Amino acid sequence: RAKAAGGNRFEFADAEADARAITRHGLTTALPAALERGEFFIEYQPLVHLGDGSVYGAEALVRWCHPQHGVLGPDRFIPLAEHTGLIVPLGRWVLQEAVSQARFWHQQTPLGGDGRPLRINVNLSPTQLHHPGLVADTVAVLERSGLEPAALCLEVTESALIGADEDLLKPLRQLAEMGVDIALDDFGTGYSNLANLRRLPVSVLKLDRSFTQGMQRHPADPVDLKIVEGIVSLAHSLELAVTVEGVETGAQAEQLRDLGCDTAQGWYYARPGPPDRLHTLSLADAV
Ligand code: C2E
Ligand code: MG
Ligand code: MG
Ligand code: MG
């Protein structure tokens, strides 16, 4: 809509919001066909031990290769897929793809740097968590691929589990009993009741990137350090492993290692990339 010259900032902001809404609408309606046409792909970001930097697994991160807009990150379309429910078939596809990739790694390089089979982490959105087929779908995918359940870790955000009742936790509990790891993603952003942690069937806390960013300042904020220290000690007393997200520098890695964090993920180690690279990385660590 053409506006007379001299249009103020508000009109400009309006036009931008309109454009965003149009794109959002376009992307939303394009999602089902995109899934059918195979426009989604997965990048894998290595997960490493903070102690020696050895790779023990990877997180699967979905991308959309859109015919007009190019490669779109998950923040652009996961919320839309959540909203329309397409996240269920899309999430099933990601799980299927990532699990067969992990199975393939196991055939090539059976063990990660810690002598255990390489782990594959897959994100679950709240809608997937509420979907009645979650356990059956996951079991079917594992059985079809032959991947052992202990090699799979499902990441659920802390905010998705805030106030979760037993009905919501039951499928996660069933998966955990089968040996699947459950990680609490973006931990520390959700203001959850820490005492609540003990009733969640989780075995890993993924400390949100915002804490890692706090370690970047020199000297790091002593309050930030205390908070991380507190979270780590609570996690360890509940026998949870602590993974840190978004490690971008060696200084951060060192700081977080000193604070007792166990494992890490971030650009300092490796950016998300194609699946064959993980194989090379873990082989390089093994020698
Ligand atoms: P997340 O699960 O917390 O994933 C970590 C995000 O941090 C990824 O962004 C990753 O690329 C980014 N990252 C990793 N290392 C660094 C670093 O050192 N610095 C910085 N600045 N960023 C780093 P990405 O790939 O854009 O994914 C964003 C979010 O989208 C994910 O956050 C996850 O919540 C969601 N997502 C991704 N794939 C899927 C999926 O298959 N299903 C669902 N439901 N959600 C997904
Ligand atoms: Mg995640
Ligand atoms: Mg995360
Ligand atoms: Mg995060």
HSE on the CB side for 3, CA within 13 Å? 10
**pLDDT tens for residues 200-256?**
999 999 999 998 888 877 777 888 889 899 999 999 999 999 999 999 999 999 999
Lowest-confidence range among 10-24, 43-57, 173-187?
10-24
Of 188, 179, 199, 187, which Cα lies nearest the Cα of 119? 179
Centre of ligand 1 from the C-alpha of residue 61, in Å = 6
ipTM above 0.90, yes or no: yes
Closest CA relative to residue 207, chosen from 182, 227, 186: 186
Q: Is the CB of 125 under 6 A from ligand 1?
A: yes
pLDDT in tens, 117-131: 899 999 999 999 999
Helical ranges in the chain per DSSP H: 9-37, 74-84, 87-108, 126-130, 134-145, 158-161, 166-178, 209-214, 222-237, 250-258, 275-286
Predicted TM-score (pTM) of the model is: 0.92
Decide: 248 in ligand 1 pocket, CB within 6 A: yes
Whether ligand 1 lies within 6 angstroms of the CB of 137 is answered as no
Q: Which pLDDT score, from 0 to 100, does residue 287 have?
A: 41
Return the residue whose CA atom lies nearest to atom 34 of ligand 1: 123
The yes-or-no verdict on residue 30 having pLDDT over 60 is yes
Provide the pLDDT for residue 1.
Answer: 39
Ligand 1 contact via 54 beta carbon (within 6 Å): no
Distance of CA 190 to the CA centre of its chain: 15
**87-108 and 9-37 helices cross at what angle (nearest 10)?**
60
Give residue 216 CA to ligand 1 midpoint distance, Å.
20
Counting ligands in written order, the one closest to the CA of 206 is 3
81 lines ligand 1 (CB under 6 A): no
User: Which pLDDT tens digit goes with each residue over 69-103?
Assistant: 999 999 999 999 999 999 999 999 999 999 999 99
Q: What angle do CA 237, 240, 242 make, to 5 degrees?
A: 110
Count other Cβ atoms within 10 Å, centred on residue 4. 6
* Residue 188 near ligand 1, beta carbon < 6 Å: no
pLDDT single digits (tens) 33-56: 999 999 999 999 999 999 999 999
User: 205 CA distance to ligand 3 centroid (A)?
Assistant: 10
Ligand nearest to the CA of 74: 1
Cβ 285 under 6 angstroms from ligand 1: no
